[in-house]
Amino acid sequence: MGVTQWGVTSSESYRMQSKLSDIELIQQTLAGNQAAYADLVKRHQRFVFTLAMRFSKVREDAEEIAQDCFIKAYRSLASFQGQSKFSTWLYSIVYTTAMTFLRKKRVDTDSIDDESTYIQIENHASAYDVNNAENRSRSFYLDQAIAQLLPDDAAIITLFYKGEQSLEEIGKMMNMETNTVKVKLFRARQRLREKLERNLKHETKDLI
Amino acid sequence: MNSIEEILWNYIDGNCSPEEQRIVSTLIAEDESYRLKYQELVALSNNLSEMELDEPSMAFTYNVMEGIRAEHALVPLKARVNKRIIMGIALFFSITLLALLVFILLNVKLPAHILPANSSLNFKIPDINSGKEKMIVQAFIFFDVVLGLYLLDGFLRRKADPKQA
């Protein structure tokens, strides 16, 4: 039985993690129990990391963004009022941190809305898996197409389908009207379908 | 007028009113183009819901907690001390000193012989116009002026180029 750095055995930690709600873990953290915060991190890290990946497209950067988010969240945990879900509050931190990261990273004058920025990624992805048809499952194509989307589009799709966030919550998070989010989600899905169709067309040509 | 796709996405996402929902259901059942598009969009929606989340590195949680711990360690002691306690102590001493001063002033009665009847105090100012003392005072003033100019120069340089500071 492994003992974590915070003096909690891994099985105890897992039990605690699965039993307590986010709010209870926050209360314990605020009372000085850092292991409770470690559990909160474990609970949300996959989604936060995925969301960060939608923006940065590079694992190392995404990990840095995600870590930064959890540290920021810890710092301002006392200011979390519980008026929204903890996940909504946390994802809004991810959104602002990722946007700041992108702004800092954009040293050249290219806009992040410029799709040409992502052509390289697309080429890289296709070059990476050349002739590896076995790996090309449905989820592979979906991941590939999402990686080619603009950060905002990819983030909205991820938040809606995997983050269990309503359009209103996404709107609050991104500082947008619910209707704007609805339109953006619609357009993002349209672009995703276009990318999927284009990629699949390329793949069929490659296979022939 | 909304496109077929937009209508169907609203239907799939559950953003339709009951009336709209009924109409779209009928369209899907009766219209081939609606039915095909609906099947296509539902398949995409299902795929999106089933997509796997990315997994961060094994040490992710550890790194976050280390970051938090390091941040705690970096906080200087003065930032960790509750300012209200410091203010309380300062207030206590200020009040005590003030009270003591008032008490002393009210209770002290100077004997009459200490203060002369003619209260104009007769201080003797040292004569600095003579030889050696004059030179010491001039050297002292000269040193002060040089020091002052040196500090002013440093201040103006810092102001002109803040990056250097």
Please give the average pLDDT of every successive group of 10 residues along chain A, which has 208 residues: 45 59 90 90 94 91 94 90 88 92 71 50 44 61 90 92 90 90 93 90 64
Same domain, B46 and B93: no
Residue B45 lies in a domain: yes
Residue B73 lies in a domain: no
Residue B66 lies in a domain: no
Residue B76 lies in a domain: no
Which residues of A are less than 8 Å from B68 in CB distance? 34, 37, 71, 74
Distance CA A32, CA A141 (A): 45
Residue B38 lies in a domain: yes
Query: CB distance B63–A67 less than 8 Å?
Result: yes
- Asked if A55 is an interface residue toward chain B (Cβ–Cβ < 8 A), one would say no
Same domain, B88 and B129: yes
- A179 exposed, middle or buried (CB, 10 Å; 0-12, 13-18, 19+)? exposed
Residue B112 lies in a domain: yes
Same domain, B30 and B88: no
For A196, name the nearest residue in chain B, comparing CA atoms only.
B44
Query: CB distance B67–A45 less than 8 Å?
Result: no
pLDDT beneath 50: ranges in chain B:
1, 164-165
- Is residue A203 within 8 Å of residue A136, measured between CB atoms? yes
At CB < 8 Å, which residues of chain B contact A?
5-6, 9, 15, 44-45, 47-57, 60-65, 67-68, 71
Same domain, B155 and B106: yes
* The pLDDT of residue B38: 93
Q: Is the pTM of this model over 0.95?
A: no
C-alpha closest to that of A185 among B142, B147, B48: B48
Which residues of B are less than 8 Å from A34 in CB distance? 65, 68
Same domain, B145 and B95: yes
Residue B65 lies in a domain: no
Residue B55 lies in a domain: no
Same domain, B96 and B30: no
Domain hosting B22: range is 3-50
How many other β-carbons are positioned within 10 Å of the β-carbon of residue A27?
A: 15
Number of domains in chain B: 2
Q: What is the ipTM of this complex?
A: 0.72
DSSP B85-143: HHHHHHHHHHHHHHHHHHHHHHH----TTTS-SS------PPP-SSHHHHHHHHHHHHH
